[in-house]
Structure 1
Amino acid sequence: MLPRPRLVLPLLVAMTAMLPDVSAQLSAPASLLKPVLEADGSAGFKAMQSLGYTPLFNGKDLSGWRNPYPHGEAKVVDGEIHLTGNDKFFLVTEKQYTDFRVSVEIHLPEGPANSGVMVRCHVDPTEKKAVFGYQAECDGSDRRWSGGLYDEARRGWIWPSTPGRSEEVFLLHEEKSKEAFAQPAIRDALNRNGWNRFVITCIEDRISIEVNGVNTVDFRDKTDAAGYIGIQHHGEDGQTYRFRNLFIKELPIVPASKTVDLTNQSPVSIEKIDDSVTLVDFGKVAFGNLSLRNPETGPYTGTIHFGEKLKEGRIDRNPPGTVRYGASKLNAGSGGQGTSIVAAPVHPRNIEQTGSKGSHPPAALTPESWQPVMPFRWVEIEGWPGELKAEDITRRAAFAKRWNEDASSFECSDPVLNQIYGLCKYSIKATTFAGVYVDGDRERIPYEADAYLNQLSHYATDDHVEMAAVTFDWLMENGTWPTEWAPHMVFMAHAEWMDKGDVDWLSARYELLKTKTLLQRSATDGLVRSGKLDQTKNDIVDWPKGERDGFVFTEINTVVNAFHIEAMKRMAELARAVGKEADAKAFQDRVAVAKAAFQKTLFDPHSGLYRDGIGTDHSSVHANFIPLAFGLVPDENVQGVVAWLREREMGCSVYAAQYLLDALFAYGAEAKAVDLIVADGDRSWKHMLDSGTTISWEAWDLKYKPNQDWNHAWGAAPANLLPRHILGAQPAEAGWTTVTIRPCPAGLTFAKGKVPTALGPIEIDWTNESSFQLDLKLPEGMAAKVNLPATHGSSGVWVGGEQVDATRAKGRWLLKQEITGSNRIEVK
């Protein structure tokens, strides 16, 4: 018999649902606000398998399940589990689980009904209440506490809590928890007369619950660490409770175990610092550890130091920010036989699955068989007997298994730009170590905006990109808190679809994306509102805070709304791709309403610029280049916004620079974009080069972000900007079947390179002198819409020596006919 613990550990985190105070009435169609579960569960079954879940129910019989009660009936009907009875009972799994994410779809009967999903529960058939423990509530009553956390047959309501049904410790948050469940998003999460998807995640002492994509609870409690999964019939005589698509994903997931390998690398130099210290340089920073051959001259006992940074010719043992240093002791044998694997100590934040203070998404773990890895370039070995030879020491560096160095290239007439491209391309390669796109080495956690920028650059540099889709699925289950980070999930899905053209992949994820558009925070005018908590914490604009160009936060925020509108635009495209025409039209209609309100309320006709928000006259660069990048600026206002941005220097972070430079390249200011990339001073990629780093930084300099790390791929934007804009290759249709070729010379005299695509590489070689000449080689199955710069005095465009039909507009020539195969195209 299992004991029934009564000890309640202190409350560590309780989620109050960071929802805004939206006073205006929502008008968005209900079908756009949350996932729609089809009447037929087969699509959902396929989707869960695509998302990497394992079925708990095979759809045919009750294998793996049992009823520990003498009453109640469970049977399989048309691929569903039906529970009937006249007294409460639970059907439970035969297997126990520890850390996991479980997904169950529930359909309540009409009339009085109450059900739920038990997690980490206990079973004692000798007791009247044979099943007890944590339960995610499915509440069919007018109380609407679906998604609440209940402790069945033990401590009662945990979150929300209520007198008479909760223990004293939980009543401390009664007001806050009831307030959370009164918020419309949580209160209305349940579809009372249809199917509902419950997702419960248990990681260590953290329990989180989602109902139809809405996070309802995030709580920490150490009472139970493992147990069974169960589903409930509440006991109403004659009522049938229906369950389907029961899936589980056991945690932790280690993505690198499938997609990343350790590569042996020899040092580029070995230097004897003094009689007791040898300095080894591997040339570039990589995430890894060491393999050391046992010394021939005798046993070795000493210390191995790892570092990313030198100081006065030695490894900096107290580096700034999150720049890494570590040291490990080694006791090795002698005789030159055998090797030792030496790894720096694990940094606690790199392996945390939930924080000791507060809750955060889990860190991406690396395989235990590797032993720990950390980013380092230099190694100092103390007291090595005799001479350390190159063959004695190897770095085992972690890179994506399928990384193809020859998949991409870029070269132009500016040698600094070439070096920056090399830095940024290597940054993408080096940060594939975790199998998902993580935020450098400070936490090793994927963040949505970081991941999207990383994804764009990965597509532009490699030809077998699986990591983007893996990271997308990770983030859909482990989202982070910033407002603008949620729409980046729509951007990620759209980019993956455009790159691969995989409609099946998209269909399995489309409904889940509906929670990422910020529609739940919008009002009748289509614009998103930001409550006090959003204005002070959740709305990011840029990061770190000092990079916001004095942005003034208000209830209606220009940057937030630009991201919201762009997310809905892309959702309309995705809806059409998966055959959801009604959704596509609804999203388009909503975009039209929001765009009209955006222009009317946020554009200042006197200055010709966008204000930061309603209630302020301040215009930051962000409030202007982000709408410009998303095509929200009407044609008659573009010139003024672009002219103003041309006069500004780099007024944003390395993250936001992706959008700033995209906007400048797209609207004829490519020379300014390149100037910003190669500028002198400490706010450019040239500054990173001059510092000697081999992986891009999280910020322009430590003085702008003192805790920054030196291995952050969101700082590698030129890896995608240069191929997409200088070479000019971007997909125009999903799967690269049609592309846009729009090179931007930016004052350069030549550029050439290779851009990887799903159909094969695009090869581009252009010169820009007295005329513009482009040699273009497209893979089979691809057609190009060609848009070329109109050189001074040019009168037309020639393809293969024959003049072709082309239209001149806004300083460029647009070819009427699409191009295929290999061609020389000239503007003259």
Structure 2
Amino acid sequence: MLVWHDYLYSGDDRSLRKNYEALKGRAMIDKRSPEGFFLGTNKGDIRDIVDWPAVERDGYDMNPPVKTVVTAFHFHSLILLQKIAEHLGKTADGEKFASLAEATRKAVNEKLWDESRGCYVDAFDPATGKASTHASSHANFFPLALGLVPQDRVKRVAEFIKSKGMVCSVYGSQFLLDALYDAGEGDAALKLLTSREKRSWLNMTEKVGTTITLEAWDPTLKPNLDWNHAWGAAPANLIPRKLMGIEPIEPGFKKVRIRPQMGSLSKASIRFPSPKGPILLSIARPDSATWQADLTVPPGSAAEFHLPPHVEGSLKLSSGTPRILRTENGRPVLALLPGSHQLSLKPN
């Protein structure tokens, strides 16, 4: 994941080329079951973790060898390896990774989905053919964040996740919030980002008194936590990537997606650095019927801007006639070239 995102954000593929063979080994294809699950382990120095500390697993059933969370990571690794192989011109490898990923997708969605509850269960035992009866939040937000959930199940999985709240560690929160934003649940994500409950960033700063993100939400959850932990800093990337919605579509920001999900915020602005130059975005929504965005797309880049859903009215674009590419999840998507743009939606 790290190597792919380094390429996606920088446009520099030297690390991909240098480390390709090592990356293939990291997929641990030899640990796959015939159905396509990843066979983990609960023994030895290298074992399944799911989340840490252990009290943050939402009661996860750790006993079976196949865990939904671990298999979701394996699936995502295969998808990224497919993209890397295709970029490097290794067609046969790309086809192999795609086939393996599809088998994993099929196995998870057939064996680990609980239709009656609208969620995924924690684990599966290939020896008995039985799935776990326990369904944790982790078994759902990790697959959703890692692209394993079919579109027709996204809403139900998101509702299940929302019903649980913040029942994971600061590490897990990255994937929980990614999952909510990817499902279009910006309101729910913002509530968790700004919460003052024990499992929150404001608890770290206001109650615990830290000035740097912690290893765990609170000393009561991990008495020997350290006070300088990068995995606790998820908002530092979630706010630009998901709340303001700025993510590269093509490596090096040759093309960028801008899909804001501000929730209840009435205004927000950001200066986002990219290899092409800064992306400037300010959004204001003074009332439910009026919306305005000011955007600067740097030279050498192009943008796909997702308008807010369920906003009726006339669209005006300062830089010319709006060109709608498509509608995606109820949001019209505009094509924007380099330059400054002011977009506004007002009642007719």
Q: Structure 1 length as normaliser, TM-score? A: 0.39
* Residue of 82, 99, 110 corresponding to 1:572: 82
Matched, 1:543 2:42: no
Matched, 1:819 2:337: yes
Structure exhibiting the larger radius of gyration computed from Cα positions: 1
Matched, 1:678 2:194: yes
Task: Give 1:652's aligned residue.
Answer: 168
Matched, 1:716 2:233: yes
Give, in whole Å, the separation in 2 of the partners of 1:804 and 1:501. 27
Task: Give 1:281's aligned residue.
Answer: none
Matched, 1:664 2:183: no
Please give the residue correspondences for 1:389-400 in structure 2 after superposition, counting only pairs within 5 Å: none
Total equivalences in the alignment: 336
- Cα deviation digits, residues 199-219 of structure 1 (max 9, x gap): xxxxxxxxxxxxxxxxxxxxx
Contact 1:790 1:827 in 2 (8 A): no
Contact 1:726 1:751 in 2 (8 A): no
Over 4 Å off, 4+ runs: none
Matched, 1:611 2:121: yes
Counterpart of 2:171 in structure 1: which amino acid?
A: Y
Please give the residue correspondences for 1:296-311 in structure 2 after superposition, counting only pairs within 5 Å: none
More helix, by proportion: 2
Give, in whole Å, the separation in 2 of the partners of 1:558 and 1:762. 37
Secondary structure at 2:94 match in 1: helix
Contact 1:797 1:813 in 2 (8 A): no
State the Cα distance separating 1:532 from its structure 2 match: 4.7
* Residue of 782, 803, 809 corresponding to 2:301: 782
Task: Give 1:225's aligned residue.
Answer: none
* Residue of 281, 299, 303 corresponding to 1:764: 281
Task: Give 2:251's aligned residue.
Answer: 734
Counterpart of 1:599 in structure 2: which amino acid?
A: N
Which consecutive residues of structure 2, in runs of 5 or more, have no partner in the other structure?
Answer: 125-130
Distance 1:703 1:520, change over 3 A: same
Secondary structure at 1:660 match in 2: helix
* Residue of 593, 596, 605 corresponding to 2:106: 596
Contact 2:41 2:48 in 1 (8 A): no
Matched, 1:512 2:22: yes
Secondary structure at 1:633 match in 2: coil
Counterpart of 1:670 in structure 2: which amino acid?
A: G
Task: Give 1:492's aligned residue.
Answer: 2
Distance 1:681 1:805, change over 3 A: closer
Counterpart of 1:548 in structure 2: which amino acid?
A: R
Counterpart of 1:683 in structure 2: which amino acid?
A: R
User: What RMSD, in angstroms, separates the aligned Cα atoms of the two structures?
Assistant: 1.8
Task: Give 1:773's aligned residue.
Answer: 292
Give, in whole Å, the separation in 2 of the partners of 1:541 and 1:708. 18
Distance 1:505 1:672, change over 3 A: same
Give, in whole Å, the separation in 2 of the partners of 1:631 and 1:827. 32
Matched, 1:555 2:74: no
Among all aligned residue pairs of Structure 1 and Structure 2, give the percentage whose two residues are the same amino acid.
38
Give, in whole Å, the separation in 2 of the partners of 1:531 and 1:543. 16
* Residue of 501, 513, 521 corresponding to 2:11: 501
Counterpart of 1:773 in structure 2: which amino acid?
A: Q
Secondary structure at 2:164 match in 1: coil
State the Cα distance separating 1:716 from its structure 2 match: 0.7
Distance 1:635 1:796, change over 3 A: farther
Deviates more, 1:720-729 or 1:500-509: 500-509
Matched, 1:526 2:45: no
Contact 1:798 1:827 in 2 (8 A): no
Give, in whole Å, the separation in 1 of the partners of 2:138 and 2:318. 40
Give, in whole Å, the separation in 2 of the partners of 1:714 and 1:664. 18
Contact 1:539 1:560 in 2 (8 A): yes
Please give the residue correspondences for 1:179-218 in structure 2 after superposition, counting only pairs within 5 Å: none
Q: Structure 2 length as normaliser, TM-score? A: 0.92
Counterpart of 1:768 in structure 2: which amino acid?
A: R
Counterpart of 2:266 in structure 1: which amino acid?
A: T
